[in-house]
């Protein structure tokens, strides 16, 4: 089941790279976060880690529901551009995605030998990190760049779950707090930007 | 209790920023002044002092950094009193600036005092996010663009730092469990870490993230552009406080990396910093305004601090760090007056000051300008002397003596380019251009005097002895 969710996590990120509408991109981000939350719950239950189960629940509430909802509200409130065409053409992106996946599996080869649990997941989280960077780079508009940043944060969260079997609870909660702070700052920036975005 | 005392001034500042009275700005400056009290008290306590269990521990290094940062904070708030006289800023934006300055300060206290990689990251992220709005207090389209730019590039940099922290934590978790986040335990158990390769990959990623935040190669201009677009106190906060928090993290991470494999760390950082200084020296040569000039010079000095630290000269690194933390904000704050007649008017910028206040101003700015290029008796002169000496001493113990001498000579050539440019600019400021009268206010002069006194304080034998004990 965990394999299925991690596949879904990667798939939702890949699809997000080809999305041309903002709301749909939010939907893919929400699905990405949803699978991440379920992964945390699944792995947390498997290794009997209460802290990871709590962070899994927090991920589902904050990232899968809360942040997409707030960002959708922002886009309506500040009239953000909803047609978001990626700068990288589809035919090149189709070649780029598998290249990144192969490259990261090759890159993480020495690392996966050192991590005995969920070794392949580490490679997937690193490739997700690169794919999120591509998402940030391929758009000129601010909104998809923010979603790229949030996806990158998801990839790091996945790395934390898989490579270390969960980071200390305090750190996980701190990261959530910073994420909320980022949303507050984005609100202020959008507020000044108004209809120009 | 100590933590509450440390956070109290920031909480007061946050609360006062909601008062809609014009006189509240004096209260805001005063609240930054009381930041110094708990830090001085912390400074006098025996070290290491546990502030919050093993998560926040005050040792000599972080109390020194915190003290330097608090002095810079006071100087910046003094200059902020007259910000509206030099630039257009609404009272609402001014109060909000302070609100985010309070959050920034909380983040810094956590990151500087952290004995825990995770808490260090959380504090740094909080400080980074709070500065985004400070950039936005300037309402120009350029500032707006740069605020987003800072948000996105800063987020990428900070994500790289977290990526590295996760890998380092993964490498040490088998031997230390959840305590693998603690810096003190990591240093003492560094030799026991089985997956040293994993740790080094993590360290490299974290270092690159921190270097990007400080404007090292390949992101040499992003910080300069942001500082140009924002109001000058923001640049002073960046160079004097935020970069201090970043560099203190580098010091802590590198201590562990040194214990694991010193050669790998040295070669990686050495090549990176020399490449950075190489590019920055030519960018400085082409700089046409004060902000970019000072910002690029900041990158050069941060690269030197990092280089001295890994070359086995922590004393030189800390002395250079202290001097840079006082000099650069002083120069950034003085741009508010220097650019009175336009951004690109370097010629004659040091002319047109009348009275005792004016004379003191141009004298202090001249002093800072010449001190930043390490003219004796600037503390930077001594730190560079010690630093380059340490590089040669380190090379003596290796097989690369000739390569190191060549590298030091190359560095000296690059520093000469920077020296030449600064001297040319100083001469242009003082002896060229028209004499146009400029307005100067007491609070900004007091800020500059504060930085000058702090700079002199660095040269006291007691301070130097204290720095040697940290090293």
pLDDT at B425 over 60: yes
Q: What is the DSSP string of B82-150?
A: THHHHS---HHHHHHHHHHHHHHHHHHHHHHHBSBHHHHHHHHHHHHHHHHHHHHTS-SHHHHHHHHHH
How many A×B Cβ pairs under 8 Å? 98
Whether B136 sits inside 8 A of A174 (CB atoms) is no
Q: Compute the average pLDDT of residues B165-190.
A: 92
Integer Cα distance of B217 and B207 in angstroms: 12
Whether B181 and A168 lie within 8 Å, measured CB to CB: yes
What pLDDT was estimated at residue A2?
A: 82
Give me the residue from A115, A156, A168 closest to B163, CB to CB.
A156
Average of pLDDT values for B291-313? 94
What pLDDT was estimated at residue A194?
46
B147 Cα distance to chain centroid = 19
pLDDT digits (tens, 9 = 90+) for B17-64: 898 887 888 888 888 888 888 888 888 888 889 998 889 999 999 999
Q: Delimit the domains of chain A by residue range.
A: 2-196
The residue that leads in pLDDT, B449 or B218, is B449
Q: Which of B125-134, B295-304, B305-314 has the lowest mean pLDDT?
A: B125-134
- Output the pTM of the full model: 0.92
The answer to whether the CB atoms of A164 and B170 lie below 8 A apart is: yes
> Best mutation site among B162, B183, B208, B260 for testing chain A: the one with the most A CBs within 10 Å?
B162
Residues 6+ apart with CB under 8 A from B167: A111, A163, B198, B199, B201, B202, B205
Lowest mean pLDDT among A16-30, B270-284, B344-358: B344-358
Residue of B133, B151, B166 lying closest to A160 (CB–CB):
B166
Burial B142-159 (b: 16+ CB within 10 A, else e): ebbebbbbbbbbbbbbbb
A141: confidence class by pLDDT, cuts 50, 70, 90: confident
With beta carbons under 8 A apart, name residues in chain B contacting A181.
103, 125-126, 129-130
Q: With bands split at pLDDT 50, 70 and 90, how would you rate the model's confidence at A118? A: low
In SS3 terms, chain A reads as: CHHHHHHHHHHHHHHHHHCCEHHHHHHHHHHHHHHHHHHHHHHHHHCCCHHHHHHHHHHHHHHHHHHHHHHHHHHHHCCCCCECCCCCCHHHHHHHHHHHHHHHHHHCHHHHHHCCCCHHHHHHHHHHHHHHHHHHHCCCCHHHHHHHHHHHHHHHHHHHHHHHCCCCHHHHHHHHHHHHHHHHHHHHHHHHHHHHC
User: Per the CB < 8 Å rule, is A170 touching B151?
Assistant: no
Span B74-110, pLDDT tens digits: 999 999 888 888 888 888 888 888 899 999 999 999 9
Chain B residues contacting A via beta carbons under 8 Å: 55, 103, 118-119, 121-122, 125-126, 129-130, 132-133, 136, 139, 144, 147-148, 151-152, 155-156, 159, 162-163, 166-167, 169-171, 173, 178, 181, 194-195, 197-198, 201
Chain A positions touching B166 (Cβ under 8 A) are 156, 159-160, 163-164, 167
Which residue from B minimizes the CA distance to A172?
A: B118
In tens, the pLDDT along B211-247 reads 999 999 888 888 899 999 999 999 999 988 999 999 9
Answer yes or no: do B159 and A152 touch at CB < 8 A: yes
Instruction: Please give the residue of chain A at the shortest CA–CA distance from B55.
Output: A170
Q: What are phi and psi of B337, to 5 degrees?
A: -90, -40
pLDDT at A116: 67
């Amino acid at each position: 089941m965990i394999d299925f969710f991690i596949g879904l996590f990667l798939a939702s990120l890949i699809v997000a790279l080809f999305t041309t509408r903002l709301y749909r991109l939010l939907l893919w981000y929400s699905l990405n976060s949803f699978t991440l939350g379920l992964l945390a719950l699944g792995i947390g239950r498997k290794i009997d880690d209460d802290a990871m189960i709590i962070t899994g629940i927090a991920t589902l509430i904050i990232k899968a529901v809360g942040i997409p909802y707030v960002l959708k509200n922002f886009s309506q409130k500040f009239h953000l551009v909803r047609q978001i065409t990626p700068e990288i053409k589809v035919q090149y992106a189709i070649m780029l995605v598998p290249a990144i996946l192969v490259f990261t599996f090759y890159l993480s080869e020495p690392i996966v030998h050192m991590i005995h649990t969920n070794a392949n997941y580490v490679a997937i989280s690193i490739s997700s990190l690169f794919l999120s960077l591509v998402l940030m780079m391929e758009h000129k508009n601010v909104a998809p760049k923010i979603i790229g940043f949030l996806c990158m944060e998801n990839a790091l969260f996945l790395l934390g779950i898989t490579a270390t079997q969960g980071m200390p609870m305090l750190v996980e909660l701190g990261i959530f707090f910073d994420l909320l702070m980022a949303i507050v700052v984005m609100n202020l920036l959008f507020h000044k930007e108004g209809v120009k975005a | 209790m100590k933590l509450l005392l440390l956070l109290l001034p920031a909480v007061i500042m946050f609360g006062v920023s909601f008062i809609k009275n014009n006189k509240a700005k004096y209260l805001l400056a005063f609240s930054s002044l009381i930041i110094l009290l708990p830090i001085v008290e912390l400074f006098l306590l025996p070290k290491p002092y546990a502030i919050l269990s093993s998560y926040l521990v005050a040792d000599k290094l972080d109390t020194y950094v915190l003290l330097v940062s608090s002095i810079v904070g006071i100087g910046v708030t003094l200059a902020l009193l007259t910000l509206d006289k030099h630039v257009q800023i609404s009272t609402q934006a001014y109060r909000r600036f302070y609100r985010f300055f309070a959050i920034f300060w909380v983040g810094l206290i956590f990151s500087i005092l952290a004995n825990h990689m995770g808490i260090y990251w959380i504090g740094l992220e909080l400080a980074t996010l709070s500065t985004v709005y400070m950039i936005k207090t300037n309402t120009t389209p350029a500032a707006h663009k740069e605020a987003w730019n800072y948000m996105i590039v800063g987020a990428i940099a900070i994500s790289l730092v977290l990526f590295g922290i996760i890998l380092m934590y993964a490498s040490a978790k088998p031997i230390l469990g959840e305590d693998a986040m603690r810096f003190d335990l990591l240093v003492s158990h560094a030799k026991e870490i089985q997956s040293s390769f994993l740790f080094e990959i993590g360290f490299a990623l974290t270092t690159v993230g921190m270097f990007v935040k400080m404007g090292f190669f390949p992101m040499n201009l992003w910080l300069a552009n942001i500082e140009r677009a924002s109001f000058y106190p923001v640049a002073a906060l960046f160079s004097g406080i935020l970069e201090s928090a970043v560099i203190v993290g580098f010091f802590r991470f590198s201590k562990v990396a040194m214990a694991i494999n010193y050669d790998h760390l040295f070669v990686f950082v050495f090549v990176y910093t020399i490449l950075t200084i190489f590019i920055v020296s030519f960018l400085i040569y082409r700089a046409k305004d004060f902000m970019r000039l000072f910002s690029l010079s900041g990158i050069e000095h941060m690269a030197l601090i990092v280089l001295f630290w890994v070359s086995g000269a922590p004393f030189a690194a800390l002395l250079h760090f202290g001097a840079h933390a006082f000099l650069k904000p002083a120069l950034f704050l003085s741009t508010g007056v220097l650019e009175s007649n336009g951004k690109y008017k370097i010629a004659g910028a040091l002319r047109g000051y009348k009275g005792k206040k004016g004379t003191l101003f141009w004298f202090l700015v001249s002093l800072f300008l010449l001190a930043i290029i390490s003219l004796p008796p600037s503390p930077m002169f001594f730190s560079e002397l010690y630093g380059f000496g340490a590089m040669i001493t380190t090379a003596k113990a290796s097989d690369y003596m000739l390569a190191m001498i060549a590298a030091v000579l190359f560095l000296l050539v690059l520093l000469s380019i920077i020296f030449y440019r600064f001297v040319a600019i100083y001469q242009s400021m003082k002896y060229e251009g028209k004499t146009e009268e400029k307005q100067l206010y007491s609070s900004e002069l007091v800020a500059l005097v504060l930085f000058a006194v702090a700079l002199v304080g660095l040269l006291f034998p007691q301070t130097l002895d204290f720095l040697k004990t940290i090293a």
